[in-house]
Amino acid sequence: MAYRSFEDLDVWKRACQLAVSVYEQTRNWQDWGLKSQLERASVSIASNIAEGSERGGKDFIRFLRIAAGSAAEARTQIYIAKRIGLINEEDFESLIHESKGISKMLTGLIKSLS
């Protein structure tokens, strides 16, 4: 896998867009606890990809696994938000689809580096 910087990685680009989408979605939420958790988890995905990429080697794989964990955490919080009525069906489906796609990309990247 040849790339010059984490900014070249499609998974990092998609993770950044997911974080932006989450912030747009949660902008008017009054549930500050869930809002904060979901925002932090979504930002953590792209951040861990970037940090691991800069560290390189085995650290990269470790940070990709952390990013995958953050994607699962964010997805769980999206399910909860849907169940308590904070998010509509269309936005829910979009965020879930994107988070699952990012998880699959992370899994593939981890396998290719292992």
pLDDT tens track for 34-52: 999 999 999 999 999 999 9
Q: Is residue 22 part of a domain?
A: no
Q: Are 19 and 43 in contact, with CB atoms under 8 Å apart?
A: yes
CATH number of the domain that 66 lies in?
1.20.1440.60
Q: Is residue 24 part of a domain?
A: no
| Residues of the domain holding 102 | 31-113
Q: Is residue 9 part of a domain?
A: no
pLDDT value of residue 97: 98
- Confidence check: pLDDT of 96 > 90: yes
pLDDT value of residue 73: 98
Q: Is residue 3 part of a domain?
A: no
Cα-to-chain-centroid distance, residue 28: 21
Q: What crossing angle do the helices spanning 57-83 and 10-26 adopt, rounded to 10°?
A: 30
Average pLDDT, the chain: 95
pLDDT value of residue 4: 83
Q: Is residue 20 part of a domain?
A: no
C-alpha distance from residue 26 to each of 2, 46, 89, 103 (Å): 36, 18, 15, 21
Q: Is residue 11 part of a domain?
A: no
pLDDT value of residue 70: 98
Q: Are 92 and 100 in contact, with CB atoms under 8 Å apart?
A: no
Over residues 8-12, the mean pLDDT reads 96
Q: Is residue 72 part of a domain?
A: yes
Over residues 57-73, the mean pLDDT reads 97
pLDDT value of residue 3: 67
Q: Total domain count for the chain?
A: 1
Q: Is residue 79 part of a domain?
A: yes
| pTM over 0.85, yes/no | yes
- Confidence check: pLDDT of 1 > 80: no
| Per-residue tokens: 39 | 């925002």
